[in-house]
Amino acid sequence: MSSLDRFLIISVVLLASVFPVELFPNTGPMPRGGDGQFSGKQGQVVVVTIPELREATSVKGRFLGRTVTLFPNPAAGGTGYIGLLGIDLQDEPGAHELTVDAQLGEQGRHFSYQVLVVKEKFAVEHLKLPKDKVDLDEKAAARWKAEQEQVRKALAEESAMRLWQTGFIEPVHGKRTGIFGSVRIMNGQPRNPHNGEDIGAPMGTDVMASNDGVVRLVVDHIFSGRGIFVDHGLGLYSMYFHLSDVLVNEGDLVKAGQVIGKVGATGRATGPHLHWGMKVNGARVNPYALLGLPFPQNPAAARSLVAAPSRLSPAESNPIAVGSDTR
């Protein structure tokens, strides 16, 4: 073996130990993500764009077993496709594949992207609640299970129509009292991570629809209290919980900025606040992640700020004692 051969072999071995196996397709699994890369943190929304895809009759994305809906990119004058990929707050960090299958008349096209899920450092919140609010008896546990099933069924249907054209808005402007994704220790026991944001606001403050959509479900649940689920189309849902009043009915069309309810403390809540949640094709994402998307601003966004509640009372601004919940 010449010294050059030896040098090359050693170089390859060294490179293989430094670079991911995808660089050496002959020695590892088939390369995935050949069409590009995206990345985002747990609980965030990744904007996926495919500029080279045009005039498809159907486009469908898949990521970790979930559907990713893509639609003609309005910012690009209708050429190319854009989609919102929700990264669930508990998606495994690391590289995962997003596949996109498009049909252009008779011809099918397949795209493969690598999506890097970056670990988010979620806070830990300790909450102290009355014992019977944490430890459910048999009857309450059965009720909770049935309620979860009701929500799952209502949100399972894929809403094909995109009902919104502009960006999302904050439904209530206030102090955030419960943090998205936080690990919750209730009376010393670990519970599910917090799947929304809690916005502290005085009782009766207007709650606005975050975007155009249709009211899919109105509930009065053991934990969520009086709540509204709005279907925005293409797998996007917004949720508004613990309301004192609900001003819409199932099936109603709502507009961004429309007052749909009032802040309350119904269900398992330690004080008046809005629990605002968003789901993107089944992924629980931080609702505030929807505010920064590259869509034209909704005129109601300005009103959202004007509708800010008057200053919170000292009790209401206590982040732990008041204005939090426990799902």
- The binding site for Zn ion (CB under 5 A) comprises 178, 196, 198, 275, 325
Beta-carbon count within 10 A of 248 CB: 18
Least distance from Zn ion to the Cβ atom of residue 149, Å = 21
Q: Which of 282, 284, 289 is CA-nearest to residue 90?
A: 284
Closest separation in Å from C-beta 47 to Zn ion:
26
CA 136 to chain CA centroid, nearest Å: 27
Angle at 278 between CA 275 and CA 283, to 5 degrees: 130
Residue 64 burial (10 A CB sphere; 0-12, 13-18, 19+)? middle
How far, in Å, CA of 55 to CA of 104, rounded?
A: 7
For residues 120 and 42, the answer to whether their CB atoms sit within 8 Å is yes
Q: Give me the least distance between CB of 198 and Zn ion, in Å please.
A: 4
Closest approach of Cβ 267 to Zn ion, in Å?
A: 10
- 4: helix, strand or coil: helix
Q: By C-beta, is 174 or 233 nearer to Zn ion? A: 174
Minimum CB distance to Zn ion, residue 218 (Å): 18
